[in-house]
Structure 1
Amino acid sequence: MTTDEVGHGRRELLRARGAWWLLGLAVFLAVGTAFGRLAARDGGLLLVAQVFHHPIALPMLIVGVLAGAVHLRFQRPPVRSVAAATAVLASAAGLVLVPFRAFSGLGPEVTSVQEAPGRSDRRLVVEEDSISIDPVWRVYVDEGSGTSQRRWRVGRLHGDDPNDGLTEASWADPGTVLVVTGDGRHHLVPLTPDDGRPARTLSRGYWED
């Protein structure tokens, strides 16, 4: 066996190993995406949702990683060229979307975080966002701490009508959230003592989902 043949064999082995590593990374990201979607539901684990719930960015990153594996595994120049371009563009888009959304002001903004009286493991969180030109508020209770922290939805308010907008969200007591809407109404939402789950969810204004 010549030196060139030995070198070619080593390169092929490295490419095959690289392709398998990329496939493993794609599987990991796909599993993470699935868990992130579950965690983003009401009462899901907040940390998992924050890390893995990126419905556009992570799928694009997965496409980029898979394209990279194709580039390493196949030898035909047209296939390698298309795979390389796809890998670069999709991976770059996936990696850029998360920080762009975080720092561009296009995503929801946390406008208030309040600990429940006498309870450091329970926080009232208000996020403000916009749909078209209308303000949108989402009110949550974060229960627990660390990796076990869960997020419960208390209310969502669409400000297309000022009467449905959020005027105030605060604690009436450690187990009850007070939401005041633009029409001056006071809405009390009690929480279950064991896990902080709201007994009901307040929804004001127009929502498609």
Structure 2
Amino acid sequence: MPSGGRYGRRLAGALVGAAVLAVVWTALGAWADGPGALVLLTLAYHHLTLTGWLVVGALSGAVFAGRRRGERAAAAFVVIPLAAGWLMVGGLAGALTGDGAEVASSTAPGRPDRRLVVHSDFGLLDPHWTVYVEQGTWPAVRRWPVASFNGDAADNGFAGASWEGPSRIRLDPAEGPPAHVTVAPSGRPASYATFG
């Protein structure tokens, strides 16, 4: 079946719809982001580089799927430079903000619905670690920040985070005394610790 026909237009429409859905999901995640936010809702917002690649790929595919063979070359002269520019901007944004990677997690003793999660962001200047408490079962998992470690100096680095019980967290900097944070039954930490 030739592209640009009914099948090509349907595919193009589906790809544009997927791109719009990704952008709306990202915008909702940015709006809802904060302590206690649903992890599923903020997922696209916290992975901007990947989301940007998906949007550009879907829109590029839509342009080519909805065109006849002779129009594809003309569309390529427009789409490819725009896609390349968008991906460079997205890559730079990802490098500046750091799409945090999960580097450690542990389940609270006696609470299989509560996890301690450590994300590491390596931006342009200094490493940064953020510790979160996640509570709930998928897809209704909520996330609260517990601590941040700024690795601009050796003593501010992240050495560890662990459970001391189902509702108590121990946070260890590279140097100095640990901090202890209590977690409420809702999953919300009683305090926020900052190192550096």
Q: Shared topology, TM-score over 0.5?
A: yes
The one-letter amino acid of 1:69's match is A
Query: 1:150 and 1:117 mapped to 2: Cα distance?
Result: 18
Counterpart CA distance in 2 for 1:132 and 1:21 is 37
Map of 2:15 onto structure 1: 22
Report the 3-state secondary structure (helix = DSSP H, G, I; strand = E; otherwise coil) of the residue aligned with 1:140.
Answer: strand
Distance 2:4 2:143 in 1: 49
Contact 2:46 2:100 survives alignment (8 Å): no
SS at match of 2:113: strand
Name which one, 1 or 2, has greater alpha-carbon Rg: 1
Aligned to 1:181, which of 173, 176, 181?
173
Aligned residues: CA RMSD: 3.7
Cα deviation per residue 1:67-126 (whole Å; 9 max; x = unaligned)?
3333444668464232564698699x7xxx9xxx9xxxx965544322222211111122
Is 2:163 the partner of 1:171? yes
Q: Does 1:118 align with 2:110?
A: yes
Query: Paired residue for 2:141?
Result: 149
Q: Identify unmatched segments of 5+ residues in structure 2.
A: none
Deviation at 1:131, TM superposition (A): 3.9
**1:133, CA displacement in angstroms?**
6.8
Residue correspondence of structure 1 range 85-100 to structure 2 within 5 A: 85=80
Contact 1:125/1:142 (<8 A) preserved = yes
Q: Is residue 59 from structure 1 mapped to residue 85 from structure 2 by the alignment? A: no
Report the number of matched residues: 187
User: Structure 2 length as normaliser, TM-score?
Assistant: 0.72
Provide the secondary structure at the position in 2 that maps to 1:120: strand
By relative contact order (CA 8 Å, sep 6+), the higher-ranking structure is: 2
What is the distance in 1 between the residues matched to 2:126 and 2:172? 18
